[in-house]
Amino acid sequence: MCTANPTYPITLSDFTTFSSIKYNTLPEVEVASEILQQQHPNFTELLDKIFSLTKEYSIDLGVRLIHKHMQIEEGKVMIEKFQFHQKSPAFVTSADFPNDQIYPSSWLLEDDSKLLVFEYSTDPRVKHTFEKIIQVPSVFLEICKLIREYHLEDFFAPCITGRDSLKFFEIGNGFLEATCPETKVSILKRRPHDYNGKIVHALWAYPVDKYCFSGEYKKSNQDDSNAFGCSNCVSCSTCYTCSHCTFSC
């Protein structure tokens, strides 16, 4: 049973504040993963609790590895948009100015129990889930509470995992994300079956339905071969020269 209670009055502004200064201080994905593994090798206990909570309440929430894709300018935010990239469906994230068609999809937990937006999305399902957690924030707040109890607020960002746009993707083998410094975009596509480069797991979640990202974490007796898992390519600094990635910027 979810017992979390707000420690401060919940308002829309608590969920919608973004700081480019904060974002620019975040580590690169490989650095964040290495520190997490070194300092908190047993973080799967936390994941078990979050998975159980989101499964019980059937809400599309999970956690993302906190990292930056690139430096961003003052006034801009990180926005994920669905589009077709080289004729393949993709989620493309880049820095842009905010507008009324974007919705917070993940958050950073601050020391003062406040939230900062990590990234935004234009997906309609993100809007729907965001409105739901504003109205009934108890499960979201319980996830935040668990992250703090395990002292993982510098590593895990609570996030919305459902996307209507996932209907355009073939299920299987998860996703691979690569950041392209040349064009200053991050591209998330389905992971090629023959990909064998180095990866970093970047999202953990229980898939409450078939249109949710799900995590790479699993127990030995579980099979997530049909999951929309998310990983990052870290084998190169740009996909123009990467010998492992099968898509370029």
Check pLDDT > 60 for residue 239: no
- The reply to whether 10 falls in a domain is no
CA distance 157 to 144: 9
Is pLDDT above 50 for 236?
Answer: no
Does 140 map to a domain? yes
Return d(Cα 101, Cα 123) in angstroms, integer. Answer: 9
Domain count, the chain: 1
> Does residue 14 fall inside a structural domain?
no
Range list of β-strands (E), 130-198: 156-160, 175-180, 185-190
Reported as a pLDDT band with limits 50, 70 and 90, residue 10 is: low
Measured CA distances, 33 to 88, 199, 213 (Å): 28, 10, 19
246 located within any domain: no
Note the helical H segments in 6-100: 20-24, 29-39, 44-57
Quote the mean pLDDT of the chain: 83
Q: What's the whole-model pTM score?
A: 0.84
Residue 196 lies in a domain: yes
pLDDT level of residue 124 (50, 70, 90 thresholds): very high
Percent of the chain with pLDDT over 90: 60
- For residue 3, pLDDT over 50 is answered with no
- Report d(CA 214, CA 161) in Å as an integer: 7
- Band of pLDDT at residue 226, cut at 50, 70 and 90: very low
235 has a pLDDT exceeding 60: no
Residue 19: inside a domain? no
For residue 11, what pLDDT is reported?
A: 65
Provide mean pLDDT across the span 30-50. 93
Residue 16 counted as domain residue: no
Chain centre distance of CA 176: 13
Closest by CA position to 60, among listed 221, 214, 245: 214
- Domain span at 46: 26-233
Q: Helical H runs in the chain?
A: 20-24, 29-39, 44-57, 124-135, 138-149
Percentage of residues in the chain having pLDDT higher than 70: 81
pLDDT at position 242 over 80: no
Residue 122: inside a domain: yes
